Amino acid sequence: MSAQVIAVMASGKGSNLHVILAAAGAGHCPVDVRLVISDRADAKALDIARTAGVAQVMYINPKDYADRAAFDTACADAIEAAGCRWIVLAGYMRILSSAFVQRFSGRIINIHPALLPAFAGADGVADALAYGVKLAGCTVHLVDEVLDGGPILAQAAVPVHDDDTRDSLHMRIQAEEHRLYPATLKRMVEEGFTLAGRRVIWNRI
């Protein structure tokens, strides 16, 4: 099975990007991260990508574009020019335009730090903690035009402890993210899936 060429979009510290690169480098995840895009010049994800030797590492400044659609078009053109089949969002904090989602329909994947459909949105960890759930977790899902609303590929749960803060709970969730994201990408490439309505049905190999 040859590796699938992917682009990763990240705005923050890049720990998910790091584990994907590490898993790919170790031969545990059949993806070739050909392009990393960030919308933030100070994103640690950019350093992680450069250190790992990713072929194209791009900071694209949203302020250089008239609107979200124009910015997204610039990102989409770079992704297509690099020959990327999949787009992996790893802490990418901008909402994608409909045109971007439609252009790469079914080929954009995101990880969200909550058990969707509960606690979609910008701070799922704080929202889950404030709500008082006893189980939190993370979700890997396909991206469609509904925020955090696409079909679910994989989930993992973690307990919420009485003395948790947002940070301590997020750390426990991220430990699961770092296992789940590369494992799900591997499964996507090696096994593939079909959609039955909203349900992701994994193909048997």
Member of 174, 180, 184, 185 binding ligand GRF (CB under 6 A)? 174
CB of 82 to ligand GRF, least distance (A): 21
């590929």: which residue's tokens? 153
Member of 4, 16, 38, 97 binding ligand GRF (CB under 6 A)? 16
Q: Which of the following is catalytic: 112, 141, 170, 178?
A: 112
Task: Give the CB-nearest residue to ligand GRF.
Answer: 91
Site for ligand GRF in 74-93 (CB under 6 A): 90-91
Closest of 9, 101, 99 to residue 60, by C-alpha: 9
Cα separation of the two ends of the chain: 12
| CA gap 200, 75 in Å, rounded | 27
184 binds ligand GRF (CB under 6 A): no
| 112 a catalytic residue | yes
Identify whether the C-beta of residue 9 lies closer than 8 Å to the C-beta of residue 58: no
Q: Which two tokens stand for residue 92?
A: 């990418």
4 binds ligand GRF (CB under 6 A): no
Q: Cβ closer to ligand GRF: 14 or 150? A: 14
Q: Which stretch binds ligand GRF (CB under 6 A): 30-38, 110-118, 128-136, 155-163?
A: 110-118
DSSP-based three-state secondary structure for 101: helix
111 binds ligand GRF (CB under 6 A): yes
Sheet of strand 135-142, all strands in order from the earlier edge strand to the far edge: 56-59, 31-38, 4-9, 86-89, 108-112, 135-142, 152-159
Q: Cβ closer to ligand GRF: 165 or 203? A: 165
Residues tagged active-site: 112
